[in-house]
Amino acid sequence: MAAVDLASTLQEPGRDSVQQRFWRRLIRHRLGMIGLVMLIILVVSAVFAPLIAGIDPAVTDLRNKNEPPSAEHILGTDAIGRDVWARLVYGARVSLSVGLVAVGIYTSIALVLGSVSGFFGGLVDGVIMRFTDVIMCFPTFLLILTAVAVLPPNIFNIMVIIGIFGWPGMTRLIRGQFLSLRSQDFVTAAVATGVPTRRIIFRHILPNVVGPVVVAATLGLAGAILTESSLSFLGLGVQQPTPSWGQTLTNALMLPVLENMPWRWLPSAIAIAFAVLSMNFFGDALRDAFDPRTNLD
């Protein structure tokens, strides 16, 4: 019987109180709530981009290129007359899509490898961990950069590549959780009573690993967005005419643009910082809410 189940068996009201304490601690985390509001704004902007932008981000108007902010274009236009506001809003879709899919891919890989490694131990653990160590010897961004340079630069490949190379850290986290939990009494009792291995992993141990995994995935989402923006900045990420925050910064590298046309690069820079801060704030709040040793009450 899992730890969460054991608590509910011994004291049924205790389970509700644990959940209530979690939500209370989460709500009382001020920076976390600020991050959550920022994250909601980002998600709403991405989902309702056509309504919020009001214009196609790929439409060009050479007669109004490099125009400063005005009533018609609230954040001005770029070098070929595209609306900066529209590209900023649609860029949120790209960043969130890449982040969510990439994190989903490497979390799935990490759950499989970390669970198997931590539960079975021995030779299986040794093989998986040595392979993980080899991958971690190389800088993750360098591996991603190499793979992106070989494959065609498109949003699908970016998602898959970031997901494939992002799993080692979370795998070690999940393995550590399994190593700790498999020695607990509720796991020993389940093994002794003949509970199938699959049920022990998925029903008894894995639910107790959800908290750290959710926190790591939330923080990893910010890292994935930064990676996509960096790749787009280098010209190896999302390609024109698809809008991307990193791509917008690349188009504004010339000194005259940096000095005299801040509307072409500053909104994207602020958007990247906004997205990363929101996820880091909320991830920190989740971590503190899951950890009973943190005094938020």
Residue pLDDT, tens place only, 161-209: 999 998 999 999 999 988 888 888 888 888 888 888 888 888 888 888 8
Against a cut of 0.85, is the pTM above it? no
For residue 208, the 8-state DSSP code is: G
pLDDT band at residue 129, thresholds of 50, 70 and 90? very high
Question: Using CA atoms, how far apart are residues 250 and 235, in angstroms rounded to an integer?
Answer: 8
CA-to-CA separations, 63 to 56, 79, 82, in angstroms, rounded: 17, 10, 11
Task: Please tell me the class of the 19-290 domain.
Answer: mainly alpha
Question: Which region among 12-21, 31-40, 152-161 has the lowest average model confidence (pLDDT)?
Answer: 12-21
Alpha-helical segments (H) within the chain: 3-10, 12-27, 30-47, 49-53, 84-120, 122-137, 140-150, 155-165, 168-181, 185-192, 197-199, 210-233, 245-250, 255-260, 266-290
The domain ranges of the chain are 19-290
Query: What's the distance, CA 257 to chain centroid?
Result: 31
Residue pLDDT, tens place only, 43-96: 999 999 999 988 888 888 888 888 889 888 899 898 888 999 999 999 998 889
Burial class (CB in 10 A: 0-12, 13-18, 19+), 196: exposed
